[in-house]
């Protein structure tokens, strides 16, 4: 009997209450946590760029192109966690060949393809066309041909032609915004439509996802802009940072109110799942939800952003506060994704017990792969920035040396 | 602008668009199997392909021709529903040429736990053991005849077959209660559980003997008024008896 007790205690260590046999192990792990995180950054960065373009928020000019490139580099990485999670990446193209229109998950390829090919690449190409053509004229050797190739063999950069670029680009931005909403709303939809899971199943889910995406995207652009300016030894434009901070504040307030609304709605409805969910929040998710998501990831950065934006501080201090707030927001949004994906699997569908989740280090779903997947977009961004410099000063120099003789 | 009046950048973009669409159509023609979608969202010819595979199992009855002794024994035993080839592997070759191909027999300790190792998803009452603690080091056949697995003696504990319930109860407020406090179990149930049933509590008084405020059970047991508490529902419609919880 003693033997039995010890074996049993070993098996039941992290489990409390009653859970079904197929709930011992979580099927969606870290990789599925970073997938919505990455797509959120894409959608957020793109929406920020569109704001500048459509509403001519001129302060944001310095981050416009940078946001597009950031969106692209995160977009390239976004499907990788899914491919790694499912295995057999060589089969992934089959979902394009035999589309299954009744399955939201199977339609991901098309949502992704549309957004990448029709929106992001096209908009970047149109925006950079003039620079590409100029680079093609100016550079030597292989890179000359590389830029010629990028220009797709069309080298007219007369004012009339550039004007058309601008018009078409504007049109694509207009399609782009609903597309970005679609991309990330889609990810929220996947979770929100699981009606058997009370933690996920909610019509608010796509909307909450969308706003948290915007929050994470703006915070990311603050970080990318600050770090890139530091490395280039350039003065950051305070007006731009202030504007970014302002938008971040608005987006965070909307996001936080929506999440609160969702929360209060659940409390008020008080369906039979409420007691296990509150158990889960006060035990398993306490650190990741109450501490990191709400306190560290929302309230603290909101306070520091508001005081830095509207308080009377020296610019250095403001920058410092923005930077810290943006990092905290990233941590907060990451834990939001964690709480949705992992939280939805920690409680039993019998509503009587909780299981536990321990991250593994190695292995396909492990911590190392996850870290690699989070670093990869930054590497891609570095390469993209080298190939297509987004800085207005670089381009300006060039225009002077190149276009004046014409 | 070119001669047609179309802005120039549209041309390369249109070409790429056409190429992508053409590639898509070509890929569909090339890679989508002909019979895809005939019945549903899958390749219809897969059905025929699977049907045409070589048959490797001979089936239960086939063994009766030559091993009728074993067949009879097994039909009488607890393993009557376990097919010969579940343990001996596919034996279609063997019935064609018994001397050339002989099936293997799973003599190691690893095999039987595939069915009998403890797993909470198995139905309650299915005989299960923890291979690590159940007579380690000895082959299962030294004590159990695989063709007629009679137990050397009746299990001492309900957890032999109801380990899922025992496990849950063990970490509950009812941990200290023996199963027999609530269930009258004839000893025969431990040997022939399907034929001799154990009894389940049928009325609220069974719980009231400890929990009613007038009962003379130990003082630390929480009390309710059996006349009014939970009205006319059975106690276990609200409290799982093996893991009683109190709603908040």
Which of A1, A21, A98 lies nearest to residue B120, judging by beta carbons? A21
- Burial of A260 from C-beta contacts in 10 A (0-12 / 13-18 / 19+): exposed
pLDDT exceeds 60 at position A8: no
- A346–chain B nearest CA distance, Å: 18
Structural domain contains residue A109: yes
Chain A CB contacts of B132 under 8 Å are: 7
First to last CA, chain B: 74
Domain that holds residue A387: 30-193+361-394
Tell me if chain A has a CB within 8 Å of the CB of B36.
yes
SS (H, E, C) A82-133: HHHHHCCHHHCCHHHHCCCCCCCCCCHHHHHHHHHHHHHHHHHHHHHHHHHH
Tell me if chain B has a CB within 8 Å of the CB of A142.
no
Chain A CB contacts of B12 under 8 Å are: 152-154
Average pLDDT, chain B: 89
8 Å CB contact of B7 and A122 = no
Which two structure tokens, joined as six digits, stand for A367? 């911590």
- Average pLDDT of the segment spanning A193-220: 94
Give CA–CA dist A214/A212, Å, rounded.
5
Q: pTM of the predicted model, to two decimals?
A: 0.72
Which of A4, A24, A156 lies nearest to residue B8, judging by beta carbons? A156
Tell me if chain B has a CB within 8 Å of the CB of A282.
no
User: Can you tell me which residue has the tokens 């089936």?
Assistant: B59
Structural domain contains residue A295: no
Which of A7, A20, A153 lies nearest to residue B130, judging by beta carbons? A7
8 Å CB contact of B170 and A117 = no
Structural domain contains residue A389: yes
Tell me if chain A has a CB within 8 Å of the CB of B247.
yes
Structural domain contains residue A175: yes
pLDDT band per the 50, 70, 90 thresholds, residue A194: very high
Chain B CB contacts of A22 under 8 Å are: 121
Which of B12, B20, B168 lies nearest to residue A153, judging by beta carbons? B12
pLDDT tens profile A71-119:
999 999 999 999 999 989 998 888 889 999 888 888 888 989 888 888 8
- Average pLDDT of the segment spanning A149-178: 90
Q: Which pLDDT value is given to residue A402?
A: 41
- A106–chain B nearest CA distance, Å: 12
8 Å CB contact of A8 and B12 = no
Please give the tally of structural domains in chain A.
1
pLDDT band per the 50, 70, 90 thresholds, residue A4: very low
pLDDT tens profile A28-66:
999 999 999 999 999 999 999 998 888 889 899 899 999
Structural domain contains residue A271: no
Give CA–CA dist B127/B162, Å, rounded.
8
- Average pLDDT of the segment spanning A20-30: 86
pLDDT tens profile B166-204:
888 888 899 999 999 999 999 889 888 888 999 999 889
pLDDT exceeds 70 at position A132: yes
Give CA–CA dist A336/A187, Å, rounded.
14
Please count the other Cβ atoms lying within 10 Å of the Cβ belonging to residue B201. 16
Structural domain contains residue A215: no
Structural domain contains residue A95: yes
Which of A3, A100, A164 lies nearest to residue B9, judging by beta carbons? A164
pLDDT exceeds 80 at position A161: yes
pLDDT tens profile A287-328:
999 999 999 999 999 999 999 999 899 999 999 999 999 999
């Amino acid at each position: 009997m003693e033997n039995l007790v010890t074996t049993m205690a070993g098996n039941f260590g992290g489990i409390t209450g009653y859970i079904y046999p197929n709930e011992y192990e979580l099927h969606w792990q870290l990789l599925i946590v970073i997938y919505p995180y990455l797509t959120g950054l894409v959608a957020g960065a793109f929406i920020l760029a569109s704001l500048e373009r459509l509403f001519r928020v001129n302060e944001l000019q310095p981050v416009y192109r940078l946001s597009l490139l950031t969106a692209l580099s995160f977009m390239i990485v976004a499907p990788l966690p899914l491919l790694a999670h499912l295995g057999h990446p060589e089969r992934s193209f089959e979902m394009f060949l035999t589309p299954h229109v009744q399955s939201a998950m199977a339609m991901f390829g098309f949502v992704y393809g549309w957004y990448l090919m029709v929106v992001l690449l096209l908009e970047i190409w149109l925006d950079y066309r003039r620079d590409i053509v100029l680079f093609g004229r100016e550079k030597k050797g292989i890179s000359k041909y590389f830029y010629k190739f990028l220009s797709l063999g069309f080298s007219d950069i007369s004012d009339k032609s550039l004007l058309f670029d601008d018009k078409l680009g504007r049109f694509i931005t207009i399609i782009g915004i609903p597309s970005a909403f679609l991309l990330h709303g889609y990810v929220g939809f996947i979770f929100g439509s699981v009606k058997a899971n009370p933690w996920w199943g909610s019509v608010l889910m796509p909307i909450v996802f969308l706003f948290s995406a915007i929050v994470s995207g703006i915070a990311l652009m603050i970080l990318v802009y600050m770090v890139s300016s530091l490395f280039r030894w350039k003065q950051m434009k305070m007006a731009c940072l202030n504007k970014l901070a302002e938008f971040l504040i608005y987006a965070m307030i909307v996001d936080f109110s929506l999440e609160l609304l969702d929360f209060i709605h659940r409390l008020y409805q008080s369906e039979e799942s409420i007691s296990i969910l509150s158990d889960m929040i006060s035990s398993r998710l306490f650190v990741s939800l109450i501490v990191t998501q709400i306190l560290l990831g929302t309230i603290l950065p909101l306070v520091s952003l508001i005081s830095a934006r509207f308080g009377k501080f020296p610019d250095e201090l403001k920058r410092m506060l923005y930077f810290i707030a943006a990092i905290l927001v990233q941590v907060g949004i990451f834990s939001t994704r964690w709480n949705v994906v992992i939280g939805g699997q920690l409680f039993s569908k019998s509503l009587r017990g909780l299981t536990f989740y321990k991250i593994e280090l190695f292995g396909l779903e492990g911590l190392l792969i996850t870290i690699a997947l989070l670093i990869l977009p930054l590497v891609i961004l570095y390469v993209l920035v080298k190939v297509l410099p987004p800085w207005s000063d670089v381009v300006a120099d060039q225009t002077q040396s190149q276009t004046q003789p014409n | 602008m070119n001669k047609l009046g179309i802005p120039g950048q549209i041309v390369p973009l249109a070409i790429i668009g056409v190429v992508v669409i053409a590639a898509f159509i070509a890929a569909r023609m090339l890679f989508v199997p002909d019979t895809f979608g005939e019945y549903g969202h899958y390749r219809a010819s897969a059905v025929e392909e699977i049907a045409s595979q070589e048959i490797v199992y001979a089936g239960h009855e086939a063994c009766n021709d030559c091993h009728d002794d074993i067949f009879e024994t097994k039909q009488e035993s607890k393993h009557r529903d376990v097919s010969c080839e579940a343990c001996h592997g596919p034996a279609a070759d063997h019935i064609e040429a018994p001397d050339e191909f002989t099936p293997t027999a799973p003599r190691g300790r690893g095999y039987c736990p595939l069915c009998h190792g403890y797993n909470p998803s198995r139905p309650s009452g299915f005989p299960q053991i923890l291979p690590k603690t159940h007579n380690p080091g000895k082959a299962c056949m030294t004590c159990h005849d695989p063709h007629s697995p009679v137990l050397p003696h009746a299990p001492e504990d309900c957890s032999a077959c109801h380990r899922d319930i025992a496990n849950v109860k063990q970490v509950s407020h009812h941990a200290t209660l023996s199963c027999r406090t609530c269930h009258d179990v004839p000893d025969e149930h431990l040997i022939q559980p399907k034929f001799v049933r154990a009894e389940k509590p049928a009325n609220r008084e069974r719980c009231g003997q400890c929990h009613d405020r007038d009962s003379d059970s130990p003082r630390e047991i929480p009390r309710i008024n059996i006349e009014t508490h939970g009205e006319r529902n059975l106690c276990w419609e609200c409290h799982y008896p093996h893991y009683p919880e109190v709603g908040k």
